[in-house]
Amino acid sequence: MKEPDNDLMVEVKNLKMYFPITRGLLKRKVADVKAVDDISFYIKKHETLGLVGESGCGKTTTGRCILRLYQPTSGNIIFAGKDISNMREGKLKPLRSNMGAIFQDPFGSLNPRQIAGSIVGDPLKVHDMATGSELDDRVAELFQMVGLDPTMKDRVPHEFSGGQRQRIGVARALACRPSLVICDEPISALDVSIQAQIINLLEELQEKMGLTYLFIAHDLAVVQHISERVAVMYLGRIVEITTSEELYENPLHPYTKALFSAIPIPNPKIEKTRTHIVLKGEVPSPVNPPTGCHFHPRCHMAVEECSRERPPLRDIGGGHLVACIRV
């Protein structure tokens, strides 16, 4: 048997996450939402993997599967060398303290009646990692680490600004000194002028603590800025993975190209000379996805074969993976 690869923080193999749609009193299953439809990727230790794609393509579901907040329909999730895909809650708990999560909505994800200090300290209590004055010290340290004044620890969330609330979320995620942090749209709800503060904070903390990030967002520019490698999802599947640079300089999947082209660049001169690919139609439903390549009905390069078989994610050299038979 192959030794587990020690460079890897997370390895996801053929992950599927289907949500059943039920009808009637007997909750008869009538169909599945194929939120994640057989994806594989890895995240190296100390690396940031970006995950981009449009609303509903399965980014959050992927993150929640890794955190084992969902029991995957099938496939494997290997975290720090251990297969956790079917692990029971009791065995999972100690591993959980090694994973943190930051969510999109700094308003909704914090309990409005809980004071900031206990929001940040709670994970430490849950995992029996600190009590009493040790807990207080650690909370103060965490506040400082994310640039919050520890004297604000008795305030409740609405007494903080959006950016400060997101810092509380970051402090909570880091409380147990995790190795992996799932950042699910951590800046989308913030003002433009505040976003950079949080991005810089995440980068600094990663450097200081050797963190590994899965960074989920739909803003490709932000994802590229923070990630070494980027995976592009479309309708439950990964269509392309490569380094940030390569993805920008040499995007290969027609969907990646359209996505790049759709993002306006804050420079009118560049904008004037760019070609804009405008996609036709809308993203189909994950309940009834197109046959073959999920993107083929909207693809200008599609040929008959594209509607028949799912294109494999193949390496076209240098670790640049793309799922398209036309490239």
**Chain residues that interact with other proteins, rule: CB under 8 A:** 54-55, 161, 163, 191-197, 199-200, 203, 218, 220-222, 224-228, 243-245, 248-249, 258-269, 271, 276, 278-279, 282-283
- The widest CA-to-CA distance across the chain, in whole angstroms, is 68
Distances from the Cα of 12 to the Cαs of 16, 33, 62, 118, 229, in angstroms? 10, 20, 9, 33, 15
Q: Return d(Cα 37, Cα 238) in angstroms, integer.
A: 9
The Cα–Cα gap between 167 and 109 comes to 12
Query: Binds 33, which of Mg ion, ligand ATP, other proteins, none (CB < 5 to 8 A, cut-off by type)?
Result: ligand ATP
Considering CB distances under 5 to 8 angstroms, the limit depending on partner class, which of ligand ATP, other proteins, Mg ion, none binds residue 35?
Answer: ligand ATP
Site string for ligand ATP, 161-200 (x = CB under 6 A): ----------------------------------------
Which residue in 106, 178, 186, 286 binds ligand ATP (CB under 6 A)? 286
42 binds ligand ATP (CB under 6 A): no
CB 212 within 8 A of CB 47: yes
| Residue written as token pair 């969510």 | 103
Smaller CB separation from other proteins, 135 or 205: 205
The C-alpha atoms of residue 35 and residue 258 are separated, in whole angstroms, by: 22
Token readout for 70 is 């969902």
Provide, rounded to whole angstroms, the least separation between the CB of residue 45 and other proteins: 17
Which structure tokens are listed for 155? 């305030």
Quote the DSSP letter at residue 266. S
Question: Choosing among ligand ATP, Mg ion, other proteins, none, which partner's interface includes residue 286 (Cβ < 5 to 8 Å by kind)?
Answer: ligand ATP
Report the nearest approach of ligand ATP to the CB of residue 192 (Å). 10
Q: Which tokens sit at 257?
A: 């190209």
Q: What's the gap between Cα 191 and its chain centre?
A: 20
Kindly report the number of other CB atoms within 10 A of residue 325's CB atom: 17
Nearest to 185 by CA among 230, 227, 216, 220: 216
Query: Binder to ligand ATP among 35, 99, 231, 238 (CB under 6 A)?
Result: 35
- Amino acid at site 204: E
Of 132 and 281, nearer to other proteins (C-beta) is: 281
For ligand ATP, what does the binding mask look like between residues 55 and 84, x meaning CB under 6 A?
xxxxxxx-----------------------
Q: Which residues contact 258 (CB under 8 A, 6 or more apart)?
A: 277, 279
Shortest spacing between CB 5 and ligand ATP, in angstroms: 27
* Shortest Cβ 53–ligand ATP spacing (Å): 6
- Other Cβ atoms closer than 10 A to 212: 22
CB of 208 to ligand ATP, least distance (A): 28
Considering only residues 49 through 68, tell me which ones interact with Mg ion, judged by CB under 5 A.
Answer: 60
Q: Which stretch binds ligand ATP (CB under 6 A): 54-62, 107-115, 148-156, 319-327?
A: 54-62
Determine the Cα–Cα distance for residues 85 and 152; give it in Å rounded to an integer: 39
Number of residues interacting with Mg ion: please give it, by CB under 5 A: 1
Kindly state the tokens that stand for 214: 């899965």
Min dist. Cβ of residue 317 to other proteins (A):
20
Residues near ligand ATP (CB under 6 A): 19, 33, 35, 53, 55-61, 218, 286
Residues near Mg ion (CB under 5 A): 60
